Amino acid sequence: MNLEDLLYENAPAARDALLSALPPEEDCPPNFSPGFRRRLRRLTHRQRHPVLFRTLRQAAACFLALLVLGGAYLGADSRARAGFLRWVRQVYQTQIVYRFAGEAAESGVYRPGWVPEGYTLAEAWNDTVLYNDPSGRNLVFDYTLMQSGTALSIQDADKAIIKSADINGVSGELYLSTDASLPNVLIWLDEDAELVFGITGFLDESDMLHMAESVYLANSTN
């Protein structure tokens, strides 16, 4: 019998021995920290809503390589060139990805001062607020720091009409979905605050802009 067959034959016995050495499940209740529980809830929420912003942790070297390889793109795209030191916009077949550069920093807590009638608060975290309407449709306000290793992804961008937007003097983009089953998305990039904001929901253009313009700093870290 060769070594591979020997390992295959004895694998079940090894598995059973390892499992029997573990303490009973009732003797090991989970004891997660409050911070871990908050991060887990946020992760679960974002996985259930793929249109929302996703924070992608990557090595700084990958981002530097992206900047080098994207030189030709930056020269052709004025929006990306304007924010060259802080962000790069990449267009793929079905999505648009923004990648950011910068040092890690603290941000305050931001909240919208206005939401459309009928929407009520469902859940809130430091950087994400979820509202629901009576029919169960979600409305999400979200923001994240512009720092190295962070990115946001607009899914199903090929099914949207993309329009430029101005949010209190800050440039942004509005993704108006051509598919009634998909929400609209508004993002704006505030380089002074080193933050990128977003709203995702089944609102028309006017309400999306009104809600964005109402966002204010509710709690400062300074």
Q: Is the pLDDT of residue 139 over 70?
A: yes
What's the domain count of the chain? 1
CB 135 within 8 A of CB 48: no
Highest mean pLDDT among 33-42, 48-57, 86-95, 161-170: 161-170
Alpha helix stretches (DSSP H) within the chain = 3-21, 34-48, 60-69, 71-76, 78-82, 205-213
Q: Is residue 25 in a domain?
A: no
Q: pLDDT of 66-112, one tens digit each?
A: 334 444 344 445 454 444 457 788 888 888 888 887 776 777 899 99
Domain that holds residue 162: 49-219
Would residue 26 count as lying in a domain? Answer: no
Q: Which of 189, 211, 190, 206 is nearest to 139 (CA)?
A: 211
Residue 22 domain-assigned (yes or no): no
Residue (of 200, 195, 222, 196) closest to 211 by Cα position: 200
Q: Rounded CA gap, 66 and 84, in Å?
A: 12
In a domain, 117, yes or no: yes
Whether 16 is in a domain gets the answer no
Which of left, alpha, beta for 102 (phi over 0: left; psi -120 to 50: alpha)? left
Residue 186 lies in a domain: yes
CATH number assigned to the domain comprising residue 113: 3.30.200.100
pTM here is 0.61
Q: Per-residue pLDDT tens for 192-221? A: 888 999 999 999 999 999 999 999 999 876
Q: Are 198 and 189 in contact (CB under 8 A)?
A: no
Question: Which letter does DSSP use for residue 147 in this model?
Answer: -
